[in-house]
Homo-oligomer: A and B are copies of this chain.
Amino acid sequence: MSKARPTIADVATRAGVSKGAVSLALNGRPGLAQATVERIIAAADELRWRPSNRARSLSVSKAFALGLVITRDPGVLSSDPFFPAFIAGVESVLGPNGQALVLQVVTAGEDEEAGYQRLAQAGRVDGVFLSDLRHDDPRIELLASLGMPAVTLNRPEGSSPFPAVLLDDRPGTVEVVQHLLDLGHRRIAHVAGPPAFVHATARSEAFTSALAAAGLEPVGIEGSDFTAAGGIEATRRLLALPEPPTAIVYANDRMAIAGIGAVQRAGLTVPDDLSIAGFDDSELAEFVHPGLTTVRADPFGFGEAAARTLNQLIDGDGEVADVELPPARLVIRRSTAAPASHGMLEES
């Protein structure tokens, strides 16, 4: 990048305050009027100011640890393969560096804010990963105001002073739909993840627009929760429709693998009676029978890239660029095939 990295002095000039006031505001220290704090944060945001080691060293020493705050039920750690694989990728970078990962599971709201504040103010971590970005995510401003270096997993909706690691879920989802259309499916349904998450709605929207591009509407979109039990329930609701789908696209593998079980228990065969596709390419996807057609998203690589980027931000003093990972890609296995002939006949 040719442009010089903005400094605390630049932020001070723009906000019309002293450098000391900027340091207070960005480190969440008391002593300033709320309006002044807001003006300083706005100036830092407009300049795309990012905390550096130099700025941080004014206030705290290094913790040799990075933080991940998970704002979900603790059970998500065992029920959704994303976090374990992401954490494994993070640890593959941190381990050899002698760094640790500080993990904090909180509920949304005040607990969440307190969670980040604790990490920041105790100097417990040198930076944090922002995962599960939400619509109008309040954590961007919170972390900017705490002066805490951060890397976001994908890009938040508003402006953000933090570098992002990008892994686009959408092309893989579009490829799944196209693969099913190519096989002859016209009645396709979707089992979605929780709508609060940007990544879950990104997959749903990619699903719907890929169908729309072919002049089709979804047979059904069932909201679910990424768990096996949720996947089963959603599958049963779709199978009970007056015109059930011939193919179902799930927002993660866990729901899809549970869906295969639900279909087989109902006396139907995958893929002869129903095609099923997942999202993740988790370890079991290849080994269940039939093997699961899915989208390979590489959460381990996501974790590696996020850890490297956050360490660059903490250690370096240059501008840290966003990192764009290869997008998630379709992996075709045996769980998808042409729809049975009665399905085709109803269409003609």
Cα–Cα, bound, A102→B100 (Å): 6
Check: A288 CB closer than 8 A to any chain B CB.
yes
Cα separation A67 to B260 with both chains bound (whole Å): 38
Interface status of A92 (Cβ within 8 A of chain B): yes
* A87 proximal to B (CB < 8 A): yes
Query: Which residues of chain B are within 8 angstroms of A111 by Cβ–Cβ distance?
Result: 95
Q: Does A207 contact B (CB under 8 A)?
A: no
Return the chain B residue nearest A106 by Cβ. B95
- Asked if A77 contacts B103 (CB within 8 A), the reply is no
Bound Cα distance from A98 to B110, whole angstroms: 12
Q: Flag whether A265 is at the interface (Cβ < 8 A).
A: yes
Q: Does more than half of chain A's interface fall in helix, strand or loop, or is it mixed?
A: helix
CB of A287 within 8 A of CB of B257, answer yes
- Complex alpha-carbon distance, A254 and B282, angstroms: 12
Partner of A78, one of B85, B106, B265, B287: B85
Taken together as a complex, chains A and B put the C-alpha atoms of A36 and B258 apart, in Å, by 59
Report yes or no: A288 in contact with B261, Cβ–Cβ below 8 A: yes
**Does A65 make an interface contact (CB < 8 A)?**
yes
Q: Are A232 and B287 in contact (CB under 8 A)?
A: yes
On whether the beta carbons of B283 and A228 are closer than 8 Å, the reply is: yes
Q: Is there an interface contact between B91 and A103, defined as CB atoms closer than 8 Å? A: yes
A79 to B84, CA, bound (A): 8
Q: Is A17 an interface residue (CB 8 A)?
A: no
A250 to chain B, nearest CB (A): 13
Q: Which residues of A contact B (CB under 8 A)?
A: 63-65, 67, 70, 74-79, 81, 83-85, 87-89, 91-92, 94-95, 98, 100-107, 111, 114-115, 118-119, 122, 124, 227-229, 231-232, 254, 257-258, 260-262, 264-265, 282-284, 286-289, 291, 299-300
21 chain-A/chain-B pairs, Cβ below 8 angstroms: A70-B91, A74-B88, A75-B88, A75-B300, A76-B88, A77-B84, A78-B85, A78-B282, A79-B283, A91-B103, A91-B105, A100-B103, A100-B124, A101-B102, A102-B102, A228-B283, A229-B287, A231-B287, A232-B287, A257-B284, A261-B291
